[in-house]
Amino acid sequence: MADIIKLLPDHVANQIAAGEVVQRPASVVKELLENAIDAGATTIKLIIKEGGKILIQVVDDGMGMSATDARLSFERHATSKIQKAEDLFNLNTKGFRGEALASIAAIAHVEMQTRPETEELGTHIKIEGSKIIFQEASVTPKGTSMAVKNLFFNIPARRNFLKSNQVELRHITDEFHRVALAHPSIAFHFYNNGNELFNLPSDNYRKRIVNIFGSRTNQKLVPVEEETPIVKIKGFITKPEFAKKSRGEQFFFINNRFIKSPYLHHAVVAAFEGLIKSDSYPGYFLYLEVDPGSIDINIHPTKTEVKFDDEHSLYAILRSTVKHSLGQFNVAPALDFEHDPNLQTPYEFKNKSAVPPKVTVDAGFNPFQESKSPSPSPASRSYQKPSSGNWESLYVGLESKMGADDEPGSISFESDTITGSIFEGEKETTEAVTTTFQIRRKYIVTTIKSGMVVIDQSRAHQRVLYEKFLKNSTVKQGVSQQLLFPLHLSFSKSEINALKEIQDILVSIGFIFENIEGESITVTGVPLLVAESEVGMILDQLISDYQQEVTDDSFSHTDILSKTLAKTLAVKTGETLDNASQIALVNDLFACKESMVSPFNKPVYITITENDIDKKFI
- Identify which of 137, 174, 133 has the alpha carbon closest to the alpha carbon of residue 26: 174
pLDDT digits (tens, 9 = 90+) for 567-593: 888 888 888 888 889 999 999 999 999
Which amino acid type is present at position 468? K
DSSP 319: H
Residue 341 has pLDDT above 60, yes or no: yes
Distance CA 57, CA 203 (A): 24
Please tell me the predicted confidence (pLDDT) of residue 433: 47
Please tell me the predicted confidence (pLDDT) of residue 271: 93
Distance CA 57, CA 50 (A): 12
CATH topology of domain 10-200: Heat Shock Protein 90 (3.30.565)
Please tell me the predicted confidence (pLDDT) of residue 138: 92
Which percentage of the chain shows pLDDT scores above 90? 33
Please tell me the predicted confidence (pLDDT) of residue 108: 92
Contact 492, 208 (CB under 8 A): no
Average pLDDT of every residue of the chain: 81
Please tell me the predicted confidence (pLDDT) of residue 347: 61
Please tell me the predicted confidence (pLDDT) of residue 605: 93
Contact 257, 264 (CB under 8 A): no
State mean pLDDT over 178-189. 95
Please tell me the predicted confidence (pLDDT) of residue 504: 84
Sheet of 520-527, strands arranged across: 480-490, 520-527, 512-517
Q: How confident is the model at residue 5 (pLDDT cuts 50, 70, 90)?
A: confident
Distance CA 203, CA 182 (A): 12
Please tell me the predicted confidence (pLDDT) of residue 462: 93
- Identify which of 329, 305, 310, 92 has the alpha carbon closest to the alpha carbon of residue 225: 329
Distance CA 568, CA 462 (A): 9
Please state which of the ranges 107-116, 222-231, 518-527, 593-602 shows the lowest mean pLDDT.
518-527
The distance in angstroms from the start CA to the end CA of the chain is: 73
Whether CATH 3.30.230.10 fits 212-294+304-328: yes
Contact 458, 489 (CB under 8 A): no
Neighbouring CB atoms inside 10 A of 139's CB total 10
Residue 159 has pLDDT above 70, yes or no: yes
The alpha-helical segments, DSSP class H, found in 420-525 are 457-475, 493-501, 503-509
Please tell me the predicted confidence (pLDDT) of residue 334: 58
According to DSSP, the residues that pair with 131 across neighbouring strands are 128
SS3 341: helix
Contact 136, 471 (CB under 8 A): no
Distance CA 320, CA 225 (A): 11
pLDDT digits (tens, 9 = 90+) for 505-544: 888 888 888 888 777 889 999 887 788 888 888 888 888 7
E strand residue ranges, 96-245: 109-115, 122-128, 131-138, 143-149, 187-192, 195-200, 221-227, 232-238
Residue 385 has pLDDT above 60, yes or no: no
Task: Look up the CATH superfamily of 436-589.
Answer: MutL, C-terminal domain, regulatory subdomain (3.30.1370.100)
Q: Which residue has the higher pLDDT, 227 or 84?
A: 227
- 431: exposed, middle or buried (Cβ count in 10 Å: 0-12, 13-18, 19+): exposed
Hey, where are the domains in the chain?
10-200, 212-294+304-328, 436-589
Residue 384 has pLDDT above 60, yes or no: no
What are the phi and psi torsion angles at 206 (to 5°)?
-65, -45
In order of 378, 451, 458, 571, 572, the CA distances from 442 in angstroms are: 54, 20, 7, 10, 8
SS3 24: coil
Cβ-based neighbours of 482, under 8 Å, separated by 6 or more: 512, 524, 525
pLDDT digits (tens, 9 = 90+) for 65-74: 999 888 888 8
E strand residue ranges, 150-246: 187-192, 195-200, 221-227, 232-238
Highest mean pLDDT among 59-68, 71-80, 547-556: 59-68
Distance CA 140, CA 244 (A): 47
- Identify which of 458, 495, 258, 485 has the alpha carbon closest to the alpha carbon of residue 466: 458
Please tell me the predicted confidence (pLDDT) of residue 336: 60
pTM: 0.71
Q: How confident is the model at residue 187 (pLDDT cuts 50, 70, 90)?
A: very high
Instruction: Give Cα 8 distance to the centre of its chain.
Output: 45
Contact 87, 141 (CB under 8 A): no
pLDDT digits (tens, 9 = 90+) for 444-500: 999 888 889 999 999 999 999 999 888 877 776 667 888 888 888 888 888 888 888
Distance CA 530, CA 511 (A): 10
Q: How confident is the model at residue 147 (pLDDT cuts 50, 70, 90)?
A: very high
Please tell me the predicted confidence (pLDDT) of residue 173: 92
What are the phi and psi torsion angles at 85 (to 5°)?
-60, -30
DSSP 162: -
